[in-house]
Structure 1
Amino acid sequence: MVGLVSTLLISGHSVGKESHTATKPPPPVLAPPPPLLSPLDVQLDEVIRNFGLTGVVVEAQQQPDIHDPLAQLGMKLFFTKGLGGEQSVACASCHHPSLGGADGLSLAVGVNAERENVIGPGRVPADNVIDIPRNSPTIFNTGLANNALFWDGRIQRVNAVQPDGSIIEGVSTPDSGFGVIDNAVPNNLVDALARFPVTSTEEMRGEGFVTATNNREIRQHIAQRIGDYGDEEGNLATNDWLEEFRAAFNSTEDASSLITFDSIAMALGVYQQSVTLVDTNWHRYVRGDKRSLSDEQKRGAILFFTPQDQGGAGCVGCHSGERFTNEGFFNLAFPQLGPGKLSDHSDPGRGAVTGDPREQFAFKVPSLINVSLSAPYGHAGAYQNLAEVVRHYVNPAASVAGFFDRGGACGLRQFERFADCESLNQGAAEHSELALQLLGQSPFQAARLNGAEQQDLMAFLLSLTDNCAKESQCMAKFMPSNQHTNPDNLRLIATDRRGKPL
């Protein structure tokens, strides 16, 4: 009995000692307290409430994923020079994900490039002739557009009244004419857009491709080339596209049934829609992350959303909503330059599409999401940085004068070594002056911003850049790699002017 009691006492003592010396669990890691709202945050909270902002781009949630089989097929098509009439240019030659979804040039260089794999600054025409009249728009967030595409909106969603009084919605294209639904295309802006660069002699078709009387015939020949049938059978030395289309469309159809330009445009459209990049620090701020903006950016945001009659810049009048565009068309008198759209080297913009003189020199209001990545700016790339753009809104006449004082087109980086740069200035000053006169007759009011305020506004514009778009590693998923099949061995392997891969 004594032994048993002793054992229990010893055991009890031992257990008690172990409990007394056991290591206590660490205290829980608490999340840092939310930052105290600064006066700037209080002002911005009121702005956010007044404009009903949520920090969520709803349309972005409706876009396809880049890993979707159709998007993957579209990516391969987007990067093949096989869609170019002379097999020298791909869609990505002017709209590359590594260059903000565009090409970094004031005016694009299409089929006549001296070195076809060089894109961006350094891509020069072999014949020293610039024949594309406009700046390449970015493909980033193309799928978010609700109203129109292209600088002049010649691809546009329209409503048509039927004989029975019902209304149908469709897309108007250059093939159907302004305001008329093109029954050959689906009710999808990006799908419709994908059908036109291949038909442009300057952009992708070239002079040496098949003789055709209309755009439909051009597209048919391209489809036959990709599908390896009909008149274009054997046109590509290597052609494994049928396997790619069958996999993407989950189909066993033959090439002539499956590989039409409708299916090509669909895949190209799905790929472009998948390049949706809207995760910006501004949107994070609106959703509650008060640390995502600097004070300079917060001041710029307040200027952006505050009306001019209250001391702000009033930018939100056109660049509104979560996507920062109302998708309208306005003449802001950005400088004219280059070959233009008409024989007098002018570019009337929207006015040439609608025939409405009130829309002369009007161009589509672009979204400002990722605007920091899409320089040069304007329909003809006249302004090389955001500082020049902001100064234009403060004093359009002085900015246009400054552009021509710097040499007009000859003062732009793209043309600084261009032997015939003065040819790009033909009529430019006169047409720019006319645009300024029309601007003076419009409701436009210049923003009254001092130098510090202009800096704040530019800082805010930088906050509209998607965080993936800033990182090449993140953007790699939008470009084919060595791990992807190369169905025709004509993939654009893009480099800069020094031969460095992009």
Structure 2
Amino acid sequence: MARFLDFGQRRKRHKNKGYRKFAHLILLAAAPAFADDLPRPLTPDDFIAVDPAQAKLGQLLFYDRILSGNRNIACSTCHHPDLGTADGLSLGIGEGGEGLGPQRTAGTRENRIRKRIPRNAPGLWNLGAKDLHTIFHDGRLSVADTYENGFNSPAEEWLPEGLDNLLAAQAIFPLVAQFEMAGNPKENEVAGAIHQRMDYAWPILADRIRHIPAYVEEFVDAYPHITTAKDIAIADIANALSAFMIWEWTSTDSPFDAYLEGDQNALDTQQKQGLDLFYDKAQCSTCHSGPLMTDQQFHALGLPPFGPGRTRRFDPMVRDVGRMGESDALEDAYAFKTPMLRNVALTAPYGHNGAYPTLEEIVRHHLNPLQSLDNWTRETAALPDVPWLAAIDFMVWQDSREMARQRAAVQLQPIPLSDTEVDDIIAFLHALTGETANTDRLGVPTSVPSGLPVDPRISN
């Protein structure tokens, strides 16, 4: 069947494969010694193939508020295409908030938010990579056979069957997160089910979709195993969401990718100098390695802490211990996953909690974490005003022992770079932006089958 469309068929190329291989050999021969450390080009073949009908269905679901407990927030609210597939905030405002992006507010009266989302909303670029095996800042979802269902996840053995890939598994967790999309106890049947057991809520959401004829028709057309409404399961919804995100936000056409393919004119002089620093003196590639520019490992960087933290039930204070919260290994304390870097210039603010609003600030933090931590101010964080949560926002700074533990865990040693060298690295990071990153493929639908409002475009 010719239903599946490979990304290579959608990307215009001006060189044949033979020429690209030849040009790449020329590049390696002409490049400086550190060229051996450069990754191979990232190509569409590195990503999961997508059925266009499933991607189109996933687009509708991604922008539809029907998948939230109170029918008032969609996936797009915190992952908006006009904000680099993120939300422009350090810590997001989820269920109960109003508006989009940096202008989003915390709601009013009984509908106001009860907690900031503890971590920064990451961009959705290249999450369909075949080699990607771990997702979330703390890696709490990974490809593994821990529970004999293909994944190690917060749902453990209760994870639904039939998920196509890692991204599909990820897609169902925000739906059942209280402060993201599910809502608070006693507000709706989804939130009520979650407080019995996480997996009790997913059939409720699937049932909502089954009762919308337009969705049933789309599912029947997109999936051979679905013939009637009752066949639609949460895994099918997750698979469609995954198909859309892969289709819409796979990015392999940055100037850096063209350079790796052999086009030495794809980067300007400053970007080449930044590339040289990135893969040599600045040691960025120690962690941002390989074609995806991530080692998919966890590192303690000492980012300035704030917000409610992602606490465990037995934590006696507001804090975020990062990977240790998943692994229970002391050596993982305050360590967070190395992010991929394609389109990083579009996804500010930066860090697992969005501590820094610019590329320059996050780069300088990596070069001298403790100094940057000392110099950081609260005004740096993009936190919409929430007076009833203000006492919690910076509470961790009052705990001198906790702050000392976070400082002691930092794994990076200072690297002295000049201002010019920092500017060169930033120029290189901008060369990671895809040529078509800001070009709609499916885009934002004008309406969705539920009839609920669709998050609008944001004027930049």
Taking structure 2 as the reference length, what is the TM-score of the superposition? 0.84
Q: Which amino acid is 2:197 matched to? A: N
Asked if residue 85 in structure 1 is aligned to residue 52 in structure 2, the reply is no
Once the two structures are TM-superposed, the CA of residue 351 in structure 1 deviates from its matched residue by: 0.3
Q: 1:135 — aligned with what? A: 120
Once the two structures are TM-superposed, the CA of residue 59 in structure 1 deviates from its matched residue by: 4.9
Change (3 A) 1:300 1:49: closer
Once the two structures are TM-superposed, the CA of residue 289 in structure 1 deviates from its matched residue by: 1.6
Question: Aligned to 1:456, which of 415, 418, 424?
Answer: 424
Once the two structures are TM-superposed, the CA of residue 446 in structure 1 deviates from its matched residue by: 2.2
Q: Which amino acid is 1:176 matched to? A: E
Q: Which amino acid is 2:209 matched to? A: I
Change (3 A) 1:42 1:57: closer
Q: 1:494 — aligned with what? A: 456
Q: 2:166 — aligned with what? A: 189
**Following the alignment from structure 2 to structure 1, what is the Cα–Cα distance between the partners of residues 342 and 35?**
20
Q: Which amino acid is 2:344 matched to? A: V
**Following the alignment from structure 2 to structure 1, what is the Cα–Cα distance between the partners of residues 155 and 383?**
33
Asked if residue 174 in structure 1 is aligned to residue 154 in structure 2, the reply is yes
**Following the alignment from structure 1 to structure 2, what is the Cα–Cα distance between the partners of residues 128 and 245?**
34
Change (3 A) 1:329 1:58: farther
Give the match's secondary structure for 1:75.
helix
Asked if residue 329 in structure 1 is aligned to residue 314 in structure 2, the reply is no
Once the two structures are TM-superposed, the CA of residue 139 in structure 1 deviates from its matched residue by: 1.1
**Following the alignment from structure 2 to structure 1, what is the Cα–Cα distance between the partners of residues 40 and 216?**
44
Asked if residue 375 in structure 1 is aligned to residue 343 in structure 2, the reply is no
Show CA shifts across 1:411-458 (max 9, x none): 42434686754530011464444222111xx4x322221111111111
Q: 1:466 — aligned with what? A: 434
Task: In structure 1, list runs of 5 or more residues that go unmatched.
Answer: 1-40, 162-167, 229-237, 307-311
Question: Aligned to 2:252, which of 274, 278, 281?
Answer: 278
**Following the alignment from structure 1 to structure 2, what is the Cα–Cα distance between the partners of residues 332 and 59?**
33
Show CA shifts across 1:345-370 (max 9, x none): 10111101110011011111001111
Asked if residue 256 in structure 1 is aligned to residue 241 in structure 2, the reply is no
Change (3 A) 1:71 1:48: farther
Contact 1:350/1:360 (CA < 8 Å) preserved in 2? yes
Q: Is the deviation greater in 122-131 or in 369-378? A: 122-131
Change (3 A) 1:239 1:391: same
Once the two structures are TM-superposed, the CA of residue 246 in structure 1 deviates from its matched residue by: 1.3
**Following the alignment from structure 1 to structure 2, what is the Cα–Cα distance between the partners of residues 265 and 449?**
45
Asked if residue 426 in structure 1 is aligned to residue 395 in structure 2, the reply is yes
Give the match's secondary structure for 2:73.
coil
Contact 1:345/1:428 (CA < 8 Å) preserved in 2? no
Asked if residue 365 in structure 1 is aligned to residue 360 in structure 2, the reply is no
**Following the alignment from structure 1 to structure 2, what is the Cα–Cα distance between the partners of residues 367 and 459?**
17
Give the match's secondary structure for 2:308.
coil
Q: 1:314 — aligned with what? A: 283
Give the match's secondary structure for 1:143.
coil
Q: Which amino acid is 2:128 matched to? A: G
Q: 1:293 — aligned with what? A: 267
Q: 1:5 — aligned with what? A: none
Count of residues in correspondence between the two structures: 417
Contact 2:293/2:340 (CA < 8 Å) preserved in 1? yes
Show CA shifts across 1:218-263 (max 9, x none): 01101111112xxxxxxxxx65211121122256622112x21111
Asked if residue 124 in structure 1 is aligned to residue 105 in structure 2, the reply is yes
Change (3 A) 1:318 1:44: farther
**Following the alignment from structure 1 to structure 2, what is the Cα–Cα distance between the partners of residues 222 and 335?**
37
**Following the alignment from structure 1 to structure 2, what is the Cα–Cα distance between the partners of residues 490 and 128?**
21
Once the two structures are TM-superposed, the CA of residue 128 in structure 1 deviates from its matched residue by: 6.3
Q: Which amino acid is 2:42 matched to? A: V
Once the two structures are TM-superposed, the CA of residue 90 in structure 1 deviates from its matched residue by: 0.3
Q: 1:151 — aligned with what? A: 137
**Following the alignment from structure 1 to structure 2, what is the Cα–Cα distance between the partners of residues 204 and 44?**
52
Q: 1:99 — aligned with what? A: 83
Contact 2:288/2:294 (CA < 8 Å) preserved in 1? yes
Give the match's secondary structure for 2:123.
coil
**Following the alignment from structure 1 to structure 2, what is the Cα–Cα distance between the partners of residues 382 and 111?**
22
Give the match's secondary structure for 1:366.
coil
**Following the alignment from structure 1 to structure 2, what is the Cα–Cα distance between the partners of residues 364 and 185?**
27
Q: Which amino acid is 1:398 matched to? A: Q
Task: In structure 2, list runs of 5 or more residues that go unmatched.
Answer: 1-26
Q: Percent identity?
A: 30
Answer with 1 or 2: which has the greater Rg.
1
Once the two structures are TM-superposed, the CA of residue 149 in structure 1 deviates from its matched residue by: 0.5
Give the match's secondary structure for 1:156.
strand
Question: Aligned to 1:437, which of 392, 397, 408?
Answer: 408
Change (3 A) 1:129 1:44: farther
**Following the alignment from structure 1 to structure 2, what is the Cα–Cα distance between the partners of residues 435 and 80?**
40
Show CA shifts across 1:51-91 (max 9, x none): 263323365454426xx000110110010000011000001
**Following the alignment from structure 1 to structure 2, what is the Cα–Cα distance between the partners of residues 386 and 219?**
38
Q: 1:11 — aligned with what? A: none
